[in-house]
C-alpha cells in the first residue's frame, strides 16, 4: 500500500477523526475507504461509458453523464434547469430549477 500525505484544515480533520472513531476505523482506513468509494466503478462510470453512444443525445457531455451518475449512485436528487434532457435517464431523481417545471 502506498503512503500519501494530506493536509486538512483543523476543523475538517476533527470531523474526520470523529466520524472514523464512530465507525470503529482508523483515520487512514476511513479516508482510504472514502477515496476508494469515490473512485470505484459504479453507476457514474457506467454512464460515462455511454457518452456518445446515443445519437439523440448530441449535446451531452462527459460532465453531464458524470453528474447524473453521481446523483444516482448517491441516491440524491439532481437540481437542474435542464430537466428535458436529464429526464431521459432512468432512476434519476430531478428537482427543477425552472419555475413551474418539476419531475
Domain boundaries, the chain: 10-39, 43-96
Q: What is the Cα–Cα distance from 47 to 11, expressed in whole angstroms?
A: 35
Assigned C-alpha cell, 21? 472513531
Q: What is the Cα–Cα distance from 95 to 12, expressed in whole angstroms?
A: 29
Residue 46: which region, alpha, beta or left (left: phi > 0; alpha: psi -120 to 50)? alpha
Which of 65, 50, 103 lies closest to 81 in space, CA to CA? 103
Q: What is the Cα–Cα distance from 10 to 86, expressed in whole angstroms?
A: 38
* pTM of the complete model: 0.42
pLDDT in tens, 23-61: 999 999 998 888 887 766 566 666 666 655 655 555 567
Amino acid at each position: 500500500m502506498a503512503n500519501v500525505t494530506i493536509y486538512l484544515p483543523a476543523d475538517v480533520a476533527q470531523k474526520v477523526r470523529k466520524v472514523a472513531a464512530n465507525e470503529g476505523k482508523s483515520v487512514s482506513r476511513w479516508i482510504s475507504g472514502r477515496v476508494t468509494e469515490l473512485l470505484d466503478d459504479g453507476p457514474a462510470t457506467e454512464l460515462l461509458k455511454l457518452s456518445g453512444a446515443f445519437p439523440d443525445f448530441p449535446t451531452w457531455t462527459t460532465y453531464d453523464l458524470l453528474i447524473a451518475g453521481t446523483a444516482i449512485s448517491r441516491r440524491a436528487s439532481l437540481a437542474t434547469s435542464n430537466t428535458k434532457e436529464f429526464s431521459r435517464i432512468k432512476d434519476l431523481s430531478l428537482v427543477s430549477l425552472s419555475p413551474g417545471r418539476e419531475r
